[in-house]
Amino acid sequence: MADTTKRSTGIAGLDLALDGGFSPGTRIVISGSPLSGLELLAQQFWQEGEGAGAYLMLDTAPGANMIDARGMKPAAMTAAMEGEKIIVDSLSTLIAAWGIDTAARFVLEDTRPIIEGGANIVYLLYTGTHSAFEEARIMRAADIFLTLRHEIHGNEFERALAVEKLQGADVPQRVIPYNIMADGLELSTTSRVV
């Protein structure tokens, strides 16, 4: 039975895999290539239902209702984090600009009062841009770690979402196929064993 205190991800198939969605007060890292749809997943969560919060855009010009966080220092970014659902797009930019030690401290310490207040903070992490050491530091800091994978087979894309870490719960032993649609990600409610 799904936990009704969890926040919906905005994607029915992902809510099913996470037994209802994200628990309040968690650090969520979504990892994938820039073409995997990780920004769409973050936006679907941010826009789902009520209680939207801050979307801090560090990588490009912000969209509607997003905060232009390009060049912000850690204290300014923390001060801009309001609401129950906060997106940091992207953690990869923070690591490149500040280094792994400052970025990890930001995730674990600087934002701790926000997490303790019950908010969810989603960080986007681009694969192939960090050392194995940097990725391991971020994986350890996360409460939930999701990976979006995609491969090209002939003339078809194969996309799958994997729940790699789920604090306080069993990690699903299956990957979930997904498609990128005009209005966001669509996950299958069936999955396959890995």
CATH of the domain at 144: 3.40.50.300
Q: Kindly state whether residue 77 falls inside one of the protein's structural domains.
A: yes
Q: Kindly state whether residue 84 falls inside one of the protein's structural domains.
A: yes
The residues, ordered by sequence, that sit 6+ positions from 41 with a Cβ below 8 Å of its Cβ are 9, 11, 14, 30, 146, 148, 184, 185
Q: Kindly state whether residue 64 falls inside one of the protein's structural domains.
A: yes
**pTM (2 d.p.):** 0.92
3-state secondary structure of 130: coil
Rounded to whole angstroms, the Cα distance separating 161 from 184 reads 14
Nearest C-alpha neighbor of 90 from the set 112, 108, 69: 69
Residue-by-residue pLDDT tens, the chain, 194 positions: 444 589 999 998 899 889 999 999 999 999 999 999 999 999 999 998 776 799 999 999 999 999 999 999 999 999 999 999 999 999 999 999 999 999 999 999 999 999 999 999 999 999 999 999 999 999 999 999 999 998 888 888 899 999 999 998 888 888 999 999 988 999 977 645 55
Q: Kindly state whether residue 62 falls inside one of the protein's structural domains.
A: yes
Q: What is the DSSP letter of 8?
A: P
Q: Kindly state whether residue 169 falls inside one of the protein's structural domains.
A: yes
In the chain, the number of structural domains is: 1
Q: Kindly state whether residue 121 falls inside one of the protein's structural domains.
A: yes
Q: Kindly state whether residue 42 falls inside one of the protein's structural domains.
A: yes
What's the domain range around 167?
Answer: 23-193
